[in-house]
Amino acid sequence: MISPIIIVGAGSGSSSVLGVASDLNHECLGFYDPYCRKETYCDLPVLKSLDDFSQSKPRFICGIGDNKIRKRAVDEILLRFGRESFPTIIHPSAQISKDVKFGVGNVIMPNVCVGAFSKIGDFCLLNTATSIDHENVIGNFCVFSPRVTTAGCCQFDDFVTVGMSASIKENIRVDYGATIGACSFIKDNVGKNELWFGVPGRFQRSQC
C-alpha cells in the first residue's frame, strides 16, 4: 500500500480522482471540503478542518475542476503543509514519455498520452484520453477536458481551460486565463482571458 492521501474537494470531479488513486493502490482517508454539507461522499468521510491533520504529514490530491477555486483551496494547504504534500498522480494506463517533466499536484487520468520533452506545471488536470504531443509547455492550474488533442510545440499559460474534444494546431500559444470551447479546432493564437470556440475556432469575447 502506498502512502494514504486526502482528496481536496467533494464534488463530482473528485470521484474520478478517487478512481485514479484507487487504481494506484493509494488508501484514501476522505475528502477535505469545509464548504460541503455532506458528512460522507463516495462512502468516505468529508473532513472540514485542516486542524484534523496538524499532527501528521498528510498528502493531498486536488479534485476541484475550476482552476481558480482549485488555486484558493491549494494555497490554504500549501501554507500549512508545503509543496511536498501534493504528489503528482498518473494513472497506470497513461503513456508518458520518459522526457516529460511534471510539477507538483497534477492529476493524469486514464489513457492520457504526453509526448517527448513536454513540460507540465503545477496542479493541472489532464482528463481521460487527452493527447499532448511533443514539446508542449503547460503552465499551472490548467484543465484539459476528456479527449483534447494538441499538436507539437504548443504553449498554454496558467489558468487555461480546454473543453472536451478540442484540437489545437501545432505551434499555437494559448495565453493566461483563456478558455477553448468543446469540439473546437484552434489554428490561431488565443489571447489573455479570451473565450474561443468553433471550427475553425474564433474569438467570442473577453472573460474579464
State how far Cα 22 lies from the chain centre: 17
**What residue spans in the chain does CATH classification 3.40.50.20 cover?**
2-85
Place domain 89-199 in its CATH homologous superfamily. Answer: Hexapeptide repeat proteins (2.160.10.10)
In terms of CATH architecture, what is 2-85?
3-Layer(aba) Sandwich (3.40)
Q: Which residues contact 56 (CB under 8 A, 6 or more apart)?
A: none
Q: Which of 170, 169, 167, 193 is nearest to 182 (CA)?
A: 167
Interatomic CA distance for residues 22 and 100, integer angstroms: 24
Residue 78 CB partners (closer than 8 Å, separation 6+): 85, 86
What's the pTM? 0.93
Question: Listing from the earlier edge strand, what are the strands of the sheet with 2-8?
Answer: 40-41, 44-47, 26-32, 2-8, 60-62
At residue 104, what are phi and psi to the nearest 5 degrees? -105, 160
The string of pLDDT tens digits covering residues 64-83 is: 999 999 999 999 999 989 99
Intervals of CATH 2.160.10.10 along the chain: 89-199
Question: Is pLDDT above 70 for 2?
Answer: no
Is residue 137 predicted with pLDDT exceeding 90? yes
The pLDDT of 41-46, averaged and rounded, is: 92
Share of the chain above pLDDT 90, in %: 84
